[in-house]
Structure 1
Amino acid sequence: MAFIHTCFYIPLLLLVLNCTQDGYASNADILRNINAAVITSDGRQNGETNVEASARANRQDMVSGISCPAAEAIFPCMCTSEPGEERINLDLDCSEVENEDQLEQIMASPFPSTNFRSLTIVENANLKVLRAGILGNTTYEEFYIYWSALEEVEAGALSGSHSTATQIVLPSNKITMFPWEELPLFTSLVTLELSDNKITPFPTLASESLQNLGLIFNPLESLPLTAFRATPSLLTISLEKARISNVIPGTFDGLAQLLEVDLSGNQLNELLTGTVQFTSTGRHYLFFQRNNISRVASSAFTGVSSGDGIFLADNKLTVLEEVVWRPLLEDGVQLFLMDNPLICGCDIAWIMLNATFLSLIAEDTMCADGHLLVDLDPTFYQDHCSTALF
């Protein structure tokens, strides 16, 4: 992956700076242009308030000293810089690195600034282990390593970024080992994405800040009752295709901000009372499609309301028990039930005779005989099914 340097634009001064021969303006160029602006006797630019002058001075201080290292010193890695509202952002791409030793040698080079926004390594077949200390004194807010051959992240490999990392995104590698014990030390971490790796069993998680967890397509095999007890800030949990065969009621309890759970593509046969109990406000989504679910207990899902969605397509449901689904439809929850062998007998009369309920069930929901629910004749249920129970 190749990146090119771009010219800087400073909106405050309406200055478009000339590019250098390397393709980007240096920090010194930026400061010279800033200092060349018309200044009043009290140090303000023409038309500038004291507050604006102070903000400009702070931005000058932040820009000073922030620049990419010499290209030849970090080759085959590449550094790019981008002006932000309050600082210059530096991004490092090491997709072409040849081995661990080369990466470590590059990171030991003199860097004008060691604080980077991101480190990216994509489609690299050479780097197998992120060793402890391999990143030297550099720090990052975001890690992106994917479609590569990475097998292990050693303890201490990312330790320089304990206080800065907000995103660790390492999908589609071959990772079996990750320093889970260090998670509590990443005090700003929001997203941890390790999908499509070889992680097993389910790891021990602990983080006060983590909001988004992705472990899709890992052979986790099981989901412990205590899996999320030490991750109270989670908003989304993605565990698709993780070979999980059951969910113990209470597993998702205590997650006061939880909005989305994805357990699609697993080996679930039934969903028991208390499977997921939301206590957060906001739009909720539950994904259970592509399992083997033939039974859903009453109150399997609580805390859902109007506009929320429950996805149960491609399962083994044959009946839609009123005691299970009526409370959800009364609360305006949308149901997605395509590719289930529904019998569509008098067991669904309570739905067919209620236009509001029927509107909340996805139009592609089909009976085992191939008829869509929306195409069924309500008068049949009116004439042939007793309404005493409805």
Structure 2
Amino acid sequence: CEGRCWLCAGVGHLCHSLSSCTTTRPVQCDLDSKEQLAEIFKATFPINRFDYFVLENSNIGQLQKGVFGDIAFSAVMLDSNNLTLIDEEVFATSYNFLKQLYIYEDNMGDELDFPIKDINQFTKLEEIDISGPYKTIISLTLPELTSARLSLDFMSTLPATTFTGAPNLITLTLESSPIINIEPDTFKSLTHLESLEILYADLSNLVESSFAFNSENLTYVYLSENNIQTIEVGALAGIHGEAELDLSSNRLEELQEGVFIPVVKELTSGHINLAENPLLCGCDLLWIASLSDEEKQRLQGVAKSCNINTEDYDMDTLLDFLVYQCSTHTPGSPQM
């Protein structure tokens, strides 16, 4: 046994020291059933608040209301327990203490609702990391939340109000969720946002204001590998200064002037990464020739997406060719 307080070790065995506890300690469990968990927390603990609770690789199935008695936790980690149901108020005694919540479940084919329906009751919650076979999410009302990572295997819709009640988010990651669209102003209320990552979604088209931001601290917008094919004018707004915008490894064929010039003009030392897109490299790129050399440097990966061998040619060679070719053709139609 480690530490001075109660500890679940092995499979359902309680360990404790003879001295009473005056500080919080971890509780870590590896169990075979919900009955074992209930039996453990029937015991009388010398304290009722612990730093964290870890339950992993167990066959619990369900966390039932009241199972933890009057025990409260500052952090909870539930990892690979075949959990299909977490009763509301299971962690009610932690409503005013819990700061970190981690839930990971393997995708076994069943589509489940968001696992913590009473998540908005946690008044001190700062960090959440939830991954598993979940199809829905609820609008978060968590004013202390600063970090969120969500990987919801069956969530195709992200309501525009999902994060409006979490205005202090600093980092937000949406990974491996089959989201098909982002509604306008979904992220605009996040005035402290520094980093947004969305990857392995199925966005296809970015509508106007879908990625409109209102944060002076924004430094990183990662939208790689989302099957993005088209971007509407005004879809990208509030990306400025040193911010990095990564649109690599999507399915963009054209780069519209009205979409990208406003962003390029707002950047200073930031960049837009457009590598690994199947660009047609036609007259739709002619607008790049009007940029200053400094502004051109803010566009990265265009030459690579156009299959230009930069050892023999540079981007200016392509632009010179486009200026010549497109002067007698309709801009936007590829002539190469």
TM-score range, shorter chain: 0.7 to 0.9
Superposed CA deviations along residues 165-195 of structure 1, whole A, max 9, x for unmatched, are 0011012346835564422321000112212
TM-score, normalised relative to structure 2: 0.82
For 1:184-238, what per-residue CA distance to the aligned partner results, in whole angstroms no more than 9, with x for missing partners? 321000112212x121233343322222222214211212233233333333332
Choose from 233, 240, 243 the match for 2:175.
240
> Which of 1 and 2 has higher RCO (CA within 8 Å, sep 6+)?
2
Provide the residue aligned with 2:135 in structure 1: 200
Separation in 2, partners of 1:141, 1:99: 24
> Which residue pairs with 1:161 in the alignment?
94
Shift in alpha-carbon separation, 1:172–1:145, aligned structure 2, 3 A: same
Map 1:271-350 → 2, pairs under 5 A: 271-332=206-267, 333-350=270-287
Provide closer, same or farther for how the CA distance between residues 79 and 262 of structure 1 changes in structure 2, counting only shifts above 3 A: farther
Q: Match for residue 176 of structure 1? A: 112
User: Does the alignment pair 1:367 with 2:315?
Assistant: no
Q: Which residue of 2 aligns with 1:121?
A: 55
Structure 1: state its 5+ residue gaps: 6-23, 25-66, 81-86
Distance 2:90 2:317 in 1: 67
Q: CA deviation at 1:70?
A: 7.8
Farther off after superposition, 170-179 or 262-271: 170-179
Q: 1:363 to 1:295 in 2, by over 3 A?
A: closer
Q: Secondary structure at the match of 2:45?
A: coil
Residues 365 and 154 from structure 1, CA distance in 2 versus in 1: closer, same or farther, beyond 3 angstroms?
Answer: farther
Q: Once superposed, what is the RMSD of the aligned Cα atoms? A: 3.1
Query: How far 1:373 sits from its partner (Å)?
Result: 10
Taking the aligned partners of 1:365 and 1:264, their CA distance within structure 2 comes to 23
The answer for unaligned runs of 5 or more in structure 2 is 332-336
**1:297 Cα offset (Å):** 2.0
Per-residue CA distance 1:316-352 (angstroms, 9 max, x = gap): 2122222221222222231122210112234334436
Structure with the bigger percentage of strand: 2
Contact 2:197 2:222 in 1 (8 A): yes
- Superposition deviation, residue 298 in structure 1: 2.4
**Counterpart position of 2:63:** 130
Please report the TM-score for the alignment, with normalisation by the length of structure 1: 0.72
Shift of 1:371: 4.2
The one of 244, 249, 258 aligned to 2:193: 258
Q: CA deviation at 1:130?
A: 1.1
Verify: 1:210 aligned to 2:145, yes or no: yes
**Counterpart of 1:130 in structure 2: which amino acid?**
L
What is the one-letter code of the residue matched to 1:170? I
Structure with the bigger percentage of helix: 1
CA contact (8 A) 2:26 2:51 kept: yes
* Distance change >3 Å, CA 79–CA 144, structure 1 → 2: farther
SS in 1 for 2:39: helix
SS at match of 2:299: coil
Number of the residue aligned with 1:27? none
1:71: how far off?
A: 7.5
Contact in 2 for aligned 1:364/1:372 (Cα 8 Å): no
Which portions of structure 1, spanning 4 or more consecutive aligned residues, are displaced by more than 6 angstroms? none
Deviation of the 1:279 alpha carbon: 1.4
Shift of 1:93: 0.8
Residue aligning to 1:147 = 80
Aligned residues: 317
Contact 1:98 1:127 in 2 (8 A): yes
